[in-house]
Each structure stands twice: as C-alpha cells, then as structure tokens.
Amino acid sequence: MSESGPSGLSFLYDFYKDMAPYNLTYIYRGNFSKMLNEGILSLSESNLNNISEDTKIKRKVYFIMVESLQNITRHEDKTEEEDSGTSSFFVIQRHENDYLITSGNTVENKNIDNLREKLEKVNNMDAETLKEYYKEILNNGEFSDKGGAGLGLIEMARKSGNKLAFDFENINNLLSYFYFQTRISKASPEIQVKHDGSYYFDSAKSFHKHLHEKSLNFIYQGSFSQENLKSILGMIEASMGSKDALRTRKKIFNILVEILQNIFKHGSSSGLAMGGKEGKEGIFTIGKAGGEYFLSSGNLVQNKDIVKLEAKLKELNNASAEQIDAMYSSIIMKESAEGETGAGLGLIDMKMKSGRNLVYEFLPRDNDQSFFSLQVTVPDTIQ
C-alpha cells in the first residue's frame, strides 16, 4: 500500500517511534543566523505556552536555549564542505520531568583543551562555588574576542542545576565536532542526583547522525496546533537558503502550509495527555539532496479510512494536468455541500504546485491504526 521514493519512507516511522518518548522534539541541522535563532525561540515559546509549562521552568529553558544558540553562532569554526556531516545542529527534547537542550558545532582542535578545562571546572563546582566563580570572572574583566570567559557555561550550569554533558569527536587533524547538552529538571534535587542523563545525550547525538544520513535539515515531532503552526512555518522560512529562486521558495512555503495543515486536520489528537491544549500528533521533516527539497509528514490514521485515502492518492497521481484542474474545480463547486468543504484540496494543491506525484506509505501499527507517511518533492531550481 505504498508508492515509495528512492529510499522509501519507513525512516519517518522510525523517527516517530524513537522520538515518541520525548513528547516534544525538534531538531535543526544547517546554517544558523539571527533570523533562524529567533524562529527557533518563537517555536519553543509557542510550545511551552501550549503545554502550560511553569513560568520558572519556561524562563530557564528560554535562557539556556538563547545561550546554546549564541554559542553555535559565536564559537563554531566553519568548514568548506557544506554537507560533510559537520553542519551545526540544535535539538530540544522534553521527557517526563526533564528538558534537554543539545547543540553541536565544529571546533578547531587547538581550542579543545581550553574548552574542556572550562567545562570540567564548571562541572566540579557546587552551586555556591559557581556563584562565587561567576562574580570572580566579572570582577576580573576576563573577556575574549568570542565573548565572556565561560560566563555562559557557568550560568547554564547554575540555572539548570545539573552537570553539563559534552563530547568531542575528531573529524580530521584540524577540526573536531563538539556536542554539548544541558538538562533542566522539574523534579526535586534528590531525584535529580539519582538520574543518569547519559541516555539523553547519546540519543541526541544519534539523531544528529541520522539527520546527516537522510540529508534532513529539520524535524519536528510532537503536537501540531494552530498556535505553533505559524512558528514552525516561520522557522522553516528563516532556514531556507537565499540562493534558491524566490519562486521556488514561495512554492515550497505554500506546500509547507498544506502538508502541515494535513497533519493538523487528519492526525490523532494529542496534547491533553501532556497537560496541554488540544493538538494533533505527528512528525514533519524537510531535507535537501540532489538539487531537490523533500518535504515529508507522518501521522496515525484509522485503518478504516485507508482504502478511501489511498484511492484518492492513486487517482490524483494517475490524473493528467487537465483532470487535476477538473478535480480542483469540482471540489470548489461542492463547498456549499455539508461535509464536503475543502475535502482533498490540500492534496491536489501539493500535486499541482510540486508538479510531481505524491509519495506515500501506510505502515500498520495495530488493529485500529496505521502510520501514514507523505512526501512531496520540489526542485530547487525552476525548470
């Protein structure tokens, strides 16, 4: 029951299952800018408000996100290879009583010892010692051309109340990849002490490697609501390269709207179980490879609805341009009929704007539901 692309769409379900325990995950891999950082922060603020998070926790999460994003743009050492697996990345995850904020970027090997020394020094201090150390650095006025001498690291450790997780993976004689994670816990200090955060760190690193393997730049998994759809679109728009033709960017953005609305309209309900507002559960990814953008979405659908949905997709993929125009006009004419308003317009719009067949797949989950994957391909140059 599928029309698969070159590598199939089963990876979407794999990501969906791997990310499900975190309730909320989004990952970005690529070039960071002030506009993109603002989009990431806006999306986080929207999601934190959607789940009615405690104000104190929200402030901590927001502060550490700002510091992590600034660290990427301030300290990364650029490589000349755009898709070498060394692109910077940022991840935020929510799991039970913890928020995990992870970043990654390249650093020159000659700077590793100094950075490692700062991180280990911060990790070996208790809350009171960190406070005094912070004052000491401020009073000494020790600043470098890349910002404060560890002030951000100290503040992240103080606000999170946890040790900073980090790792360096060698790339070549000049560069290494620097992974860094901060964990913000809502649980009591007694529970925090017993908690081992190494699984979270390894999981984030694994996500980064999978993104590179699949040529993905952005993943969002969690609840899709009217409140956060705008933030998701804003973040993706900020991440798109200026090298792409304006017409191509507009086309991609229009398809983005339809594919995200498709999840919101047809995905399974979620949000209330997390203490938040009602939303629709699903996953969305965007990547670029071989001169094409790949926009993919996945969500659970009722098995009883699959026959009708697949028939609609097959009809659409087999239709000529004239037949698609006729389908579009027919649906518009039925807008006044009860229960028919806009039915199928989103799928038709995606087919028309991309000029390509819609790739899809249904993977059984249980007796009641299956996972529905949908992918739209858009060339990054106007043909």
Q: State the 10-residue block means of pLDDT for the chain, 383 residues long.
A: 56 89 83 86 82 84 92 67 70 87 93 92 91 84 53 89 93 94 75 56 89 90 79 79 68 87 73 52 89 91 91 93 88 62 76 91 93 90 51
pLDDT of amino acid 31:
84
CA nearest neighbour of 224 among 268, 285, 256, 181: 268
What SS3 class is residue 219? strand
- β-sheet bridge partners, residue 104: 89, 179
Residue 59 and residue 186 in contact, taking contact as beta carbons nearer than 8 Å: no
What SS3 class is residue 366? coil
pLDDT of amino acid 197:
60
pLDDT of amino acid 137:
81
CA nearest neighbour of 40 among 212, 160, 218: 218
Q: Where are the alpha helices (DSSP H) in 95-178?
A: 112-123, 127-140, 151-160
pLDDT of amino acid 272:
39
Segment holding 101, helix H or strand E: strand 98-108
pLDDT of amino acid 234:
80
The DSSP annotation for 262-318 comes to HHHHHSEEESGGGTS--EEEEEEEEEEETTEEEEEEEEEEEGGGHHHHHHHHHHHHH
Other beta carbons less than 10 A from residue 200's beta carbon: 20
Sequence ranges of the domains in the chain: 2-379
pLDDT of amino acid 377:
92
pLDDT of amino acid 243:
57
- Distance between CA 255 and CA 259 in Å, rounded? 6
Residue 132 and residue 64 in contact, taking contact as beta carbons nearer than 8 Å: no
Residue found by looking up tokens 């339809």 in the block: 258
pLDDT of amino acid 4:
41
Distance of CA 255 to the CA centre of its chain: 18
- β-sheet bridge partners, residue 369: 302
Residue found by looking up tokens 């797949």 in the block: 361
pLDDT of amino acid 244:
56
